[in-house]
Amino acid sequence: MAIHEAGHAVAGFLLNEPFLYVTTVQNQGTAQPRLAGHVAFDDGGYDVNGVSTPEECQRIERMIMILLAGEHAQRLLYRQFMVPALDDHSLAKHAQYDTRQIMLYATSLARYGGWPSDMTLIRSTLQTRLDELVAGERYWNLVERLAGVVMGGRTLTWNEATAVLRSS
């Protein structure tokens, strides 16, 4: 779980998209699904229907890349150690949540951002962009480092997380 969350958070760091905090504590809210960890942005209820400016569209593109990065980090973990994650069930739930968010964001890009209304295309285009961003050793090194600090039910604010990442 920590690797998955760190994957989101490091992508946010590299894209300079500040989050409120990254946590491996299960959330207690009832409005959100109960996730055994998440990365929170200051606009959890971001209005995906009111997106109009190019800046907002670019932000949504970054948000999709950040959402894709959780699973990407898990694939890297698997490639590295050839072991599936231990907490498969909560990860599967989390992956569903990520996918739903990606669909919401992609829908608004298609509606307002001048993207073709082909969800698969939007997703794969931004996946390619993410792949370029996280190519090389650096991304994985940062993910491992942040995961080591946030694992076991810890929470780090943006400032705390970026301090950890800048010191590596």
Give the footprint of Zn ion on this chain (CB under 5 A): 70, 94, 98
Q: How far is the CB of 70 from Zn ion (least distance, A)?
A: 3
Q: How far is the CB of 98 from Zn ion (least distance, A)?
A: 4
Q: How far is the CB of 114 from Zn ion (least distance, A)?
A: 27
Q: How far is the CB of 64 from Zn ion (least distance, A)?
A: 12
Cβ proximity to Zn ion: between 99 and 112 the closer is 99
> What is the number of the residue whose Cβ is closest to Zn ion?
70
Query: Residues 98, 71: contact at Cβ < 8 Å?
Result: yes
Cβ proximity to Zn ion: between 49 and 78 the closer is 78
Closest CA to 102 of 119, 121, 125: 119
Structure tokens at 122: 């939007």
Closest CA to 150 of 42, 41, 16, 4: 4
Q: How far is the CB of 110 from Zn ion (least distance, A)?
A: 22
Q: Residue type at 100?
A: R
Cβ proximity to Zn ion: between 98 and 144 the closer is 98
| Other residues' Cβ atoms within 10 Å of the Cβ of residue 75 | 10
Q: Residue type at 15?
A: L
Cβ proximity to Zn ion: between 87 and 112 the closer is 87
| DSSP state string for 12-29 | HHHTT---SEEE-SPP--
How are strands ordered across the β-sheet holding 155-157?
38-40, 21-23, 155-157
Cβ proximity to Zn ion: between 102 and 165 the closer is 102
Instruction: Give CA–CA dist 77/93, Å, rounded.
Output: 19
